[in-house]
Amino acid sequence: MSGAPRVLLVGAGAVGQVFGKYLQAAGCELSFLVKEKYAEEARRGYPLYELGLFSRRPRPVLFSGFGVRVSAREVAAERWDQVWLCVSSTALRDGNWVGELARATGDATWVMLQPALDDRDWLLQWVPEERLVSGMIPFLSFHAPLKPGDPLEGPGTAFWMPPMSRGLFSGPPERLQGVLRPLRAGGYPASRSEDVARAAAIPTAVLTVFINELESAGWSFDRFRERAHLERLQGAAREAVQIAARHTRTSASAVLPLLRPAFFKVLLAVASRVAPIDLETYLRVHFTKVGAQTRLMMRTYIDLGRTQEQPVQALQASVHGA
């Protein structure tokens, strides 16, 4: 690969815009692949707000200067070094566009960010392992304002990188370096991991059942703290963690003793205090938008648990109560 990497980001939502910002800062030649109905908005550019612990009223910066593509045919007419999948796990499976795009992008490195346990195996149908890099998302990003009265100058995309964040990536060494190098050059906290799927499996399992139970509580932190919700969450979290650990051949022994009602109450209190946004509103808005992904992931834990002959009763009760 010579010259500036040519990067195609699939999806120009809040996640795609944030990664695009850092890649562009490193000098990458960016284009977004979006649906036709979103193309004009993309061509105008996106106002970005970078939030911080001590800068909760940032000025927007216009993110622009990238290409916009709307079809695999347009993509096939050009050469690409990297393809970034900045869409949900359910969008990944919607239709046959992944296969079409794989054929249109030649030998490009593909970067996946999807969190479901079986997303990588699903994607390997079209992208060979030697070209696939896996990553995780350590930041919060959303379309602002979250609610009337938010202290931002106008509509745009806001994002927050928590202190000490690490954006983990794993994959074939040469391909992985091609991803890490521009991210770091652009100021993104990219780190190499031996296996992102293993590193993220247990935290993702806990977060997924946490979100599922919060939805069951009507997205209300006060209701979520009630004994019934916390006890149901405890049982579902323990099952999901053990299923994820077995699937990825990791140990859950250090995590299982923590999964008690008091742990979730403390976690919620600390996160609410540290985040520079209304966390209750953010979780409701964001995870309502990707609710189909949460339900897909819950079903995946149940299906894998049955295959592994592990308990899934608490997970089933949690899903039915949602």
**Mean pLDDT computed over 310-320:** 92
Reported as a pLDDT band with limits 50, 70 and 90, residue 234 is very high
Whether this prediction's pTM lies above 0.85 is answered by: yes
Q: What is the C-alpha to C-alpha distance for residues 307 and 171, in angstroms, rounded to an integer?
A: 27
pLDDT of residue 2: 54
Q: What is the C-alpha to C-alpha distance for residues 199 and 178, in angstroms, rounded to an integer?
A: 21
**Mean pLDDT computed over 36-60:** 89
Percent of the chain clearing pLDDT 70 (strictly above)? 98
Kindly tell me if the per-residue pLDDT of 232 is higher than 80: yes
Reported as a pLDDT band with limits 50, 70 and 90, residue 320 is low
CB < 8 Å & 24+ apart, contacts of 281-290: 281/146, 281/147, 282/140, 282/142, 282/146, 283/211, 283/214, 283/219, 284/219, 285/142, 285/146, 286/140, 286/142, 287/211, 287/214, 287/215, 288/215, 288/219, 290/88, 290/90
pLDDT tens digits, residue range 262-278? 999 999 999 999 999 99
pLDDT tens digits, residue range 178-187? 999 999 999 9
**Mean pLDDT computed over 229-248:** 97
Kindly tell me if the per-residue pLDDT of 300 is higher than 60: yes
pLDDT of residue 1: 47
Neighbour tally for 44: CB within 10 Å = 10
pLDDT of residue 55: 61
156-160 and 46-51 strand pairing: parallel
pLDDT tens digits, residue range 174-231? 999 999 999 999 999 999 999 999 999 999 999 999 999 999 999 999 999 999 999 9
The letter for the amino acid at 253 is S
The letter for the amino acid at 294 is T
Query: Has domain 6-194 been given CATH number 3.40.50.10300?
Result: no
Q: Of 140, 137, 113, 136, nearest to 50 (Cα)? A: 140
Strand intervals (E) in 125-272: 132-135, 140-144, 156-160, 167-170, 190-192
- State whether residue 182 is helix, strand or coil: helix
pLDDT of residue 53: 74
Kindly tell me if the per-residue pLDDT of 303 is higher than 90: yes
- State whether residue 198 is helix, strand or coil: helix
Backbone dihedral angles phi then psi of residue 145, each to the nearest 5 degrees: -80, 150
pLDDT of residue 322: 43
C-alpha angle 84-204-46 in degrees, rounded to nearest 5: 40
pLDDT tens digits, residue range 129-178? 999 999 999 999 999 999 888 878 789 999 999 989 999 999 999 999 99
Peptide bond between residue 189 and the one before it cis (omega within 30 degrees of 0):
no
